[in-house]
């Protein structure tokens, strides 16, 4: 398994991989399937490949992408010298899911974050399976913290 930055010519296969992610996530959260917008996905992938405060890595078996991980870096609101990396998306085709492949992807992001100067890395994901994702991150040395969401109601 090789984990590396996505190349521009791989955007179409990466979009297809993202579609698998959205479809699988929709099993737990049906809104995600209904909200999937390919133009937005293209913009997200491009942004995370162009702007240095983001990163997008694909995992490859040979030349075929089988997973991805994406993260960003932000500064702490109380001190601009403190940088945090945050893994926002992680996905691996079911046929390739194992701790070694997830570790390879997270290791790539951690190295990128260190090169960027981040002091801490956090992880969250809308997730295919939030409980399983939590266990993966804990197995990789992440401490559990509070990440919660709430839908806003408009009257």
* Residue 154 falls inside a structural domain: no
Q: What was the pLDDT predicted at 148?
A: 58
* Residue 153 falls inside a structural domain: no
Q: What was the pLDDT predicted at 149?
A: 60
CA distance 72 to 145: 18
* Residue 152 falls inside a structural domain: no
Q: What is the CATH number of the domain that holds 83?
A: 3.40.630.30
* Residue 147 falls inside a structural domain: no
Residue 2: pLDDT band with limits 50, 70, 90: very high
* Residue 101 falls inside a structural domain: yes
* Residue 93 falls inside a structural domain: yes
Q: What is the pLDDT of residues 12-34, one digit of tens each?
A: 999 999 888 888 888 877 777 77
Are 60 and 104 in contact by the 8 Å Cβ rule? The answer is no
Closest-CA residue to 85 (of 99, 69, 97, 101): 69
> How many domains does the chain fold into?
1
Calculate what percentage of the chain has a pLDDT beyond 90: 45
Burial code (b: 16+ CB inside 10 Å, e: under 16) for 92-124 equals: bbeeeeeeebbbbbbebbbebbeeeebeebbbb
For the chain, how far is it from start to end, CA to CA, in angstroms? Answer: 49
- CA distances from residue 151 to 31, 103, 148 in whole angstroms, order as listed: 11, 32, 11
* Residue 151 falls inside a structural domain: no
CA distance 48 to 66: 18
Are 135 and 127 in contact by the 8 Å Cβ rule? The answer is no
Q: What is the pLDDT of residues 142-151, one digit of tens each?
A: 887 766 566 6
* Residue 66 falls inside a structural domain: yes
Domain of residue 73, residue span: 2-139
């Amino acid at each position: 398994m090789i984990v590396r930055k996505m190349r521009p010519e791989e955007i179409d296969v990466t979009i297809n991989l993202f579609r698998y992610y959205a479809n699988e996530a929709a099993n737990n959260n049906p809104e995600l399937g209904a909200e999937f917008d390919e133009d937005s996905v293209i913009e997200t992938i491009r942004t995370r490949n162009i702007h240095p405060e983001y990163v997008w890595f694909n995992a490859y078996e040979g030349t075929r992408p089988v997973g991805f991980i994406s993260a960003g870096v932000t500064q702490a609101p109380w001190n601009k010298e403190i940088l945090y990396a945050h893994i926002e998306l992680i996905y691996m085709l079911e046929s390739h899911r194992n701790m070694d492949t997830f570790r390879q992807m997270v290791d790539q992001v951690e190295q990128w974050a260190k090169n960027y100067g981040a002091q801490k890395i956090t992880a969250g994901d809308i997730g295919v399976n939030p409980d399983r994702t939590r266990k993966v991150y804990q197995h990789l040395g992440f401490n559990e913290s509070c990440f919660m969401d709430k839908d806003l109601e408009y009257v």
